[in-house]
Amino acid sequence: MKVCKDISSLKKEIKGSSFKRKTIGFIPTMGALHKGHLSLIRRAREENDIVVVSIFVNPKQFTNSQDLAKYPQTLEQDISLIHEVADVLFIPTADEMYPHGFDSMVHTGRLSEIVEGKFRPGHFDGMATVVLKLFNIISPTRAYFGKKDYQQYLIVSQFVRDFNLPIEIIGCETVRELSGLAMSSRNTRLSDDEQEKACVIFRALSVGKSFIERGEDTIEKIRHEMQVILDREPMWKTEYLEIRNTSDFSEKETVSSDVVILIAGFLGDVRLIDNVEVAFKA
Ligand code: AMP
């Protein structure tokens, strides 16, 4: 695996003659890699000739400077986890991505103002800005995004359509610990005891899902039953618990199509998000 720190060496690496006419699978990440990231990289390996991974903790998508300062960085470990699966690792600095004078941002629309966007204003514009830059630098055939960040996956799919970018966006299933806890770089900031407590998120999601599968269709009732479970964990503070249509993220009073149940909140000072999709059976 080649490691490139700047845009020009990365371009040389992937646009070099040996890589011509080959398909490129791209996985943007912020590092502190785990089996969730690895599942995206493995899928890209199966479906493309060349696999490019980026690690960049993008300051423009952090709405809380403490969260940015505390974001885990484990480059050596990351390299050993992926060096046999990926071909190229791109690890630019913030100055490389946003040189002096940088003055443009992607503005994402309605999808970025609701659910997660309500609590992190500007987050999705920052994310879309760096993703667009990375897409332009790498020109991937396919880009892989985890449904763990469901709204991010929807927004990227939308802006690729809106801007006619010739890139296929692939959504990948969430990888979980045996306990059900969704793997996340932020989990490393939780003690073993806190990780156990964080399983309350998946317990609540599973209860919501089984309510719907058993025919309950009143959103308020499902949310109430889920909130009861979350409230039993004193260390957990819910930020939102929402049930949205999977296709356009619209909100209804009853379940009448495929939905995604989304939860965000804090366990101590660590912010966690998770979701499950539920197929609608008429
Ligand atoms: P991040 O490094 O957190 O920005 O994540 C990079 C990519 O990995 C995003 O597309 C995430 O949705 C995806 N990802 C993170 N955690 C998981 C997980 N547990 N399962 C599947 N994909 C994940």
Phi, psi of 122 (to 5 degrees): 90, -15
d(CA 18, ligand 1 centre) in Å:
30
Average pLDDT of 13-35? 86
Put simply, whether the predicted model's pTM sits higher than 0.85 gets the answer yes
Report the mean per-residue pLDDT for the chain. Answer: 95
- Name all residues whose Cβ lies below 6 A of ligand 1: 29-30, 36-37, 39-40, 145-146, 148-149, 172, 174-175, 182-185
**Closest ligand 1 atom to 37 CA:** 8
Q: What is the pLDDT of residues 97-129, one digit of tens each?
A: 999 999 999 999 999 999 999 999 999 999 999
Q: What pLDDT does 67 receive? A: 86
Question: Is the Cβ–Cβ distance between 275 and 202 less than 8 Å?
Answer: no
Residue 217 CA to ligand 1 centre (angstroms): 30
Mutate to test the pocket of ligand 1, among 40, 155, 271 (most ligand atoms within 8 A of CB): 40
What angle separates helix 200-213 from helix 219-231, to the nearest 10 degrees? 150
> Both tokens of residue 90?
């791109």
Does residue 257 carry a pLDDT above 70?
Answer: yes
What pLDDT is stored for residue 180 in this prediction? 97
Nearest atom in ligand 1 to the alpha carbon of residue 184 is: 16
Marked catalytic residue, from 34, 37, 100, 123? 37
The residues facing 244 across adjacent strands are 260
Q: Which of 42, 52, 148 to mutate to test the pocket of ligand 1 (most atoms within 8 A of CB)?
A: 148
pLDDT digits (tens, 9 = 90+) for 189-230: 999 999 999 999 999 999 999 999 999 999 999 999 999 999
b/e map 24-53, b = 16+ CB within 10 Å: bbbbbbbbbbbebbbbbbbbbbeebebbbb
Supply the pLDDT for residue 244: 97
The region, left, alpha or beta by phi > 0 then psi within -120 to 50, assigned to residue 262 is: beta
Which of 277, 247, 273, 248 has the alpha carbon at shortest distance from 260? 277
Cα distance between residue 189 and residue 160, in whole Å: 33
* Strand order, beta sheet including 24-29: 2-4, 88-90, 50-55, 24-29, 142-146, 168-172
Per-residue confidence at 247, pLDDT binned at 50, 70, 90? confident
Q: Which residues pair with 37 in a beta bridge?
A: none
Query: What residues form DSSP beta bridges with 55?
Result: 29
Top-confidence residue, 17 or 36: 36
Question: Does residue 37 carry a catalytic annotation?
Answer: yes
Higher pLDDT: 56 or 20? It is 56
